[in-house]
Amino acid sequence: MSAPTKKFTAEIDAALYQELIAVAKQNRQSQCYVLEQALEFYLHNVVPSQQLVRPEVMNAFEQSVTRNRDLLERLAK
């Protein structure tokens, strides 16, 4: 018995959509399957990794970048 499904509509970048179709066709998979796999990977791997840094550390980092923007740009050159 398959898992229950939920229909939704989304607008995505046209080039990304074409890539989705090409990957699905190349792997002989449905577009739905490829999209589900991508969402599952993102939700289970990418999102948790974004939360590894404590918010106060990111806040301090962002303040430092803002405060030192001129220096950072000069160093980049």
Return the domain boundaries, the chain: 14-76
pTM: 0.60
What pLDDT score does 12 carry? 93
pLDDT of residue 37: 96
pLDDT for 20-77, tens place per residue?
999 999 999 999 999 999 999 999 988 887 777 778 888 899 999 999 999 888 888 8
Alpha helices in 4-54 (DSSP H): 14-26, 31-41, 47-50
Residues 6+ apart with CB under 8 A from 30: 24
- Structure confidence at residue 50 (pLDDT): 75
pLDDT, residue 20, reads 96
Radius of gyration of the chain (CA): 20
pLDDT of residue 53: 75
Q: What is the pLDDT of residue 54?
A: 78
